[in-house]
């Protein structure tokens, strides 16, 4: 199996997400002036044009907003089947992240998920997702 | 060391490391959401594939001219990215087409009857997101696309509405792309695209026959330019699936990016 694609972690706009992941936290960028979440992150606030922005930690809990089981292999590093998740964060309705889980998952929209993190020591750490028991 | 993905405004670092690497996977996420919100079914998506195929079966230049498609074939085909199956995907095609655009005055003097460009529009949504296609998953609504914005401007400029459209060439990289646009261009209410398509409205005898050359799904994938060529044929009365008396044709282009559309009318 070839190496999985590794995210760039030091982009000026998005680097804060991966710095937070090194601390085992999910984070999103917010505007200090108007309070709007800026997701995906940009260098200024599209609502009020302020450049006074900050990264804030978020709860690692979310819910499945949509999902697909990939059955036709496109990339050599991703053997099929695997399941791509589109996750809406509990803290921030409207803020979504993508994740994946191995295999052909039996899922429903609204299922609870939680972010976990690669072991410390990996050079690049980015959130992984676990589907929790339905409640 | 493996190459790093993303950065520089692409936002791929949020998507590609999770195996989201193809537009069809993104449209599968959108289709799944449409199914959950509105009860859309695989059979309804299949009705779009079958409609385009039936048109291609009467277009000798279509890649799928000689290959019929039944609902059993559609449902039995392998899953690519659930809920999208093989025939929810467009073709890959080597081909070319061209259109000649000139002034209305000059066009009247040409040997072929002309189609008039009644109106054009291009646009996005208020909060579009950057990057290429995957960031569209972060927009507030997945089931309303930039085609809704474009439709409003297009109809206003044309002085026409959806009920004036005799025939439509709707960009169909996937069946779900057609379904979303049937709603966004106002042929049916949001969420009703599935029953609307499956009920025959998009067939040759329906209220808005679509993709009369077979579309990207079954004629060939020439990036939608073939839709403009077929639109001109419909206005000229030269289609192999001619819609009787067609004088107004809508032609649309791709989503989820900023998109565009035009309305062709009989030369006048």
Chain B CB contacts of A14 below 8 Å: 6-7, 11, 13-14
Residues in chain B, overall count: 268
ipTM: 0.96
Q: Indicate yes or no: CB of A14 within 8 angstroms of CB of B22.
A: no
Structure tokens at B194: 């599935």
Categorize the per-residue pLDDT at A133 as very low, low, confident or very high, splitting at 50, 70 and 90: confident
Report d(CA A95, CA A38) in Å as an integer: 9
DSSP tag of A121 = T
CB-based contacts of B205, cutoff 8 Å, min separation 6: none
CB B194 within 8 A of CB B39: yes
Q: State how beta strands A61-70 and A82-89 pair.
A: antiparallel
H helices present in chain B, as ranges? 23-38, 42-56, 71-76, 104-107, 146-158, 175-184, 193-198, 215-218, 225-236
Categorize the per-residue pLDDT at B1 as very low, low, confident or very high, splitting at 50, 70 and 90: very low
A65: closest chain B residue by CA: B33
Domain total in chain B:
1
What CATH number should be reported for the domain holding residue B252? 3.40.47.10
**A15 vs chain B: nearest CA distance in angstroms?**
9
* B90-99 pLDDT, tens digit each: 999 999 999 9
In a domain, B201, yes or no: yes
CB B162 within 8 A of CB B155: yes
* B33-59 pLDDT, tens digit each: 999 999 999 999 999 999 999 999 999
Report d(CA B250, CA B262) in Å as an integer: 6
Q: Does B65 touch chain A (CB under 8 A)?
A: no
Preferred mutation among A46, A68, A111 to probe B, highest tally of B CBs within 10 A: A68
Candidates B157, B158, B196; CA nearest to B178 is B196
Q: Is B137 in a helix, a strand, or coil? A: helix
Parse chain A into domains and list their residue ranges: 8-58, 59-135
Enter the CATH code of domain A59-135: 2.40.50
* B241-265 pLDDT, tens digit each: 999 999 999 999 999 999 999 999 9
For the question of whether the overall pTM of this predicted structure is more than 0.90, the answer is: yes
In a domain, B162, yes or no: yes
Per-residue pLDDT, B127: 85
Across the strands, what pairs with B259? B123
Report d(CA B161, CA B230) in Å as an integer: 21
* B189-234 pLDDT, tens digit each: 999 999 999 999 999 999 999 999 999 999 999 999 999 999 999 9
**A128 vs chain B: nearest CA distance in angstroms?**
9
Look up the domain containing B96 and give its range: 12-266
DSSP tag of B78 = P
Q: Does A17 touch chain B (CB under 8 A)?
A: yes
Task: Name the residue with higher pLDDT: B221 or B1.
Answer: B221
**B62 vs chain A: nearest CA distance in angstroms?**
26
Q: Indicate yes or no: CB of A11 within 8 angstroms of CB of B8.
A: yes
Q: Looking at the predicted structure, is the pLDDT value of residue A1 above 50?
A: no
Tell me which residue in B14, B127, B140 faces A97 most closely, judged by beta carbons. Answer: B14
Q: Looking at the predicted structure, is the pLDDT value of residue B185 above 70?
A: yes
Give mean pLDDT, residues A80-105.
94
At A17, which helix (H) or strand (E)? helix A15-22
Average pLDDT of the residues of chain B: 96
CB A64 within 8 A of CB A84: no
Report d(CA B160, CA A83) in Å as an integer: 44
Chain A CB contacts of B137 below 8 Å: 86, 96, 98
In Å, what is the CA distance from B208 to each residue of B37, B178, B185, B204?
24, 12, 11, 8
Q: Indicate yes or no: CB of A98 within 8 angstroms of CB of B5.
A: no
> Which residues 105-144 in chain B show a CB within 8 A of chain A?
127, 129-131, 134-135, 137-138, 140, 142
Percent of chain A residues past pLDDT 70, beyond the cut = 97
Structure tokens at B229: 């060529």
CB A57 within 8 A of CB A25: yes
Give mean pLDDT, residues B61-70.
98
Structure tokens at B256: 């989820």
Q: Indicate yes or no: CB of B14 within 8 angstroms of CB of A65.
A: no
Query: So which residues of B are the catalytic ones?
Result: 171, 221
């Amino acid at each position: 199996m070839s190496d999985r694609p590794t995210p760039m972690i030091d982009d000026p706009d998005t680097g804060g997400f991966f710095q937070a992941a090194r601390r085992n936290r999910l984070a999103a960028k917010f505007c200090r002036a108007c309070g709007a979440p800026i997701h995906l992150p940009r260098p200024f606030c599209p609502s009020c044009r302020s450049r006074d922005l900050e990264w804030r930690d978020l709860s690692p809990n979310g819910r499945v907003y949509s999902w697909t089981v990939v059955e036709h292999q496109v990339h050599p590093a991703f053997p099929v089947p695997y399941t791509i998740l589109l996750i809406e964060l509990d803290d921030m309705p409207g803020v979504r992240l993508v994740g994946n889980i191995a295999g052909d998952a039996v899922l429903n929209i609204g299922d609870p998920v939680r972010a976990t993190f690669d072991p410390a020591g990996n050079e690049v750490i980015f959130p992984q997702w676990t589907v929790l028991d339905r409640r | 060391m493996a190459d790093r993905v993303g950065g520089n405004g692409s936002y791929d670092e949020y998507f590609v490391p999770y195996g989201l690497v193809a537009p069809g996977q993104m449209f599968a996420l959108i289709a799944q959401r449409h199914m959950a919100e509105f009860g859309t079914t695989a059979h309804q998506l299949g009705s779009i594939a079958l409609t385009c195929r039936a048109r291609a079966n009467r277009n000798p230049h279509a890649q799928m001219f000689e290959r019929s498609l039944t609902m059993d074939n559609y449902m039995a085909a392998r899953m690519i990215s659930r809920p999208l199956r093989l025939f929810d995907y467009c073709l890959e095609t080597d081909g070319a087409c061209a259109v000649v655009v000139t002034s209305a005055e000059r066009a009247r003097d040409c040997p072929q009857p002309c189609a008039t460009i009644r109106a054009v529009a291009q646009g996005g949504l208020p909060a579009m997101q950057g990057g290429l296609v995957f960031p569209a998953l972060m927009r507030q609504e997945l089931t309303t696309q930039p085609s809704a914005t474009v439709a409003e401007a297009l109809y206003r400029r044309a002085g026409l509405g959806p009920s004036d459209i005799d025939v439509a060439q709707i960009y169909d990289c996937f069946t779900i792309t057609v379904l979303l646009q049937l709603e966004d261009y106002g042929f049916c209410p949001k969420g009703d695209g599935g029953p609307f398509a499956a009920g025959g409205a998009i067939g040759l005898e329906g209220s808005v026959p679509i993709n009369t050359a077979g579309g990207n799904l079954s004629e060939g994938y020439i990036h939608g330019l073939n839709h403009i060529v077929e639109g001109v044929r419909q206005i000229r009365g030269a289609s192999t699936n001619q819609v009787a008396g067609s004088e107004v044709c809508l032609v649309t282009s791709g989503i989820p990016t900023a998109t565009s559309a035009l309305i062709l009318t009989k030369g006048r």
